[in-house]
Amino acid sequence: MNFLEEKILVDGVIKEGNILKVDSFLNHQIDIDIMRQMAYEFKRRFSGVEVNKILTIEASGIAIATLLGHLYDVPVVFAKKSQTANSTDDKYVSQAYSFTHKKMNNVFISKPYMNATDKVLIVDDFLADGEAAHALIDLVHQAGAEVMGIGIAVEKGQQKGGSKLRSEGYHVESLAIVESMDWQTQTIKFREQPVLKLQNPNLTLG
Amino acid sequence: MNFLEEKILVDGVIKEGNILKVDSFLNHQIDIDIMRQMAYEFKRRFSGVEVNKILTIEASGIAIATLLGHLYDVPVVFAKKSQTANSTDDKYVSQAYSFTHKKMNNVFISKPYMNATDKVLIVDDFLADGEAAHALIDLVHQAGAEVMGIGIAVEKGQQKGGSKLRSEGYHVESLAIVESMDWQTQTIKFREQPVLKLQNPNLTLG
């Protein structure tokens, strides 16, 4: 079991509807030590891969992208979301459906910040159906740039995003892959791990 | 002239309507070296100030908050924005008007992530009318915690936010304070600096 799987057992909360809340250390409060370990672990897993830009999507991917940019010493770009952004000459625009917010978002990058010479490492906190990841890949390709890898903190292995990306040939590294989870027993199965019980399921309210 | 004022001269663009675009290094693409220098400079300016939590607001404050959390080795919290968030038992909720998006946002923090023992350094990329800063202060106070300082990358000195916060007794440190700017001549005056000319006003489209 790695540091992120351990952290999920200690501080994660499983909610009804296949929701894993990691608000206390990943996407509302940020545990800076976990974030640093994640950055180092991504760099280790993508060692030998040439990277000159980190790409994520606002908002909760920005923290890990920033520490990774710091570690690689390369620029970070965060794609922006908007319901209203229309395609203009100065933006690459794609679309992603948000299952959390049940709406379609436009996702865009201003053209000067993605170029044909960019070798891009995409990072994000969650991978479920792969909507955001595919939009980011689309933006990279619109710019003529190359996707060198995709680093994910928590992949929901029951959903199709990860297997789809891998079958498309992308190098995907997910630090924790949730194979199954049960909110009633607060148990979780990570890929290649036995079923484990969360230690503090009532830490987070709501 | 400091590193951030210099960077604004090289890569900033002044747009009609008193808008300073720093998309190329601060709030869309992130220049990781500038971001690191900002974190070190905030730590220097707040030296001797006790800080055990960094607070910002999504999305573009997250990058600087993360590097500052890394430097202080303390947790980072980013307040979330929502048009629909209603007040519930498990959230501190405040309001801030966004002049950029011309709408009122609810700003909230889940209660477990802000406590009466927290000594909070607030950071954000921009300070104009102080709407976001005041909402963050309100959230800190709702939790019974203490605002130890407010670190801002770019303050628009013509707008009232900075002077209001200082008159309220807050320790505000802004790395660049724009006293005035003119989009037609692409000139800018920083507080305690002569009028200076942007070097590359056409770098950013749109």
Q: Residues A140-187: pLDDT tens digits?
A: 999 999 999 999 999 999 999 999 999 999 999 999 999 999 999 999
Of all residues in chain B, the one with the smallest CA distance to A87 is B206
**Is the CB of B62 less than 8 angstroms away from the CB of A59?**
yes
Mean pLDDT of B49-77: 97
Cβ pair A75:B203 closer than 8 A: no
Position A90: which residue type? Answer: D
pLDDT above 60 for B154: yes
Higher pLDDT, A189 or B98: A189
* The pLDDT of residue A98: 80
Taking the C-alpha atoms of residue B150 and residue B137, their distance in angstroms, rounded to an integer, is 9
| Residues of chain B positioned with their CB less than 8 A from the CB of A23 | 110, 113
The reported pLDDT for the residue numbered B84 is: 65
| Confidence at residue B101, expressed as pLDDT on a 0 to 100 scale | 75
The A residues from 58 to 97 touching B (CB cutoff 8 Å) are 58-60, 62-63, 65-67, 69-70, 73-78, 80, 88-91
The ipTM (two decimal places) reads 0.92
Q: ω before A59 within 30° of 0 (cis)?
A: yes
The pLDDT of residue B99 is 73
**Average pLDDT of the residues of chain B:** 92
- Strands (E) located in chain B: 13-15, 19-21, 29-30, 53-57, 76-82, 91-98, 103-110, 119-127, 146-156, 172-182, 187-190, 195-197
pLDDT of residue B70: 96
pLDDT tens by residue, A54-64: 999 999 899 99
pTM of the model: 0.93
A204: nearest CB among B32, B76, B112: B112
Instruction: Give B192 to chain A, closest Cα distance, Å.
Output: 30
Binned at pLDDT 50, 70 and 90, residue B65 comes out as very high
Average pLDDT, chain A: 92
Handedness of CA A164, B63, A38, B112 (dihedral sign): negative
State how far residue B108 is from chain A, nearest Cα, in angstroms: 10
Q: Is the pLDDT of residue A204 over 60?
A: no
Taking each helix axis from N to C end, the angle separating B62-72 and B32-45, rounded to the nearest 10 degrees, works out to: 60
Q: Nearest by CB to B28, from A60, A67, A77: name it.
A: A77
Residues above pLDDT 90, as percent of chain B: 82
Tell me which residue in A58, A90, A206 faces B206 most closely, judged by beta carbons. Answer: A90
Q: For B192-200, what is the mean pLDDT? A: 80
Which chain A residues contact residue B75 at CB under 8 A? 29-32
Mean pLDDT across the stretch B124-131? 96
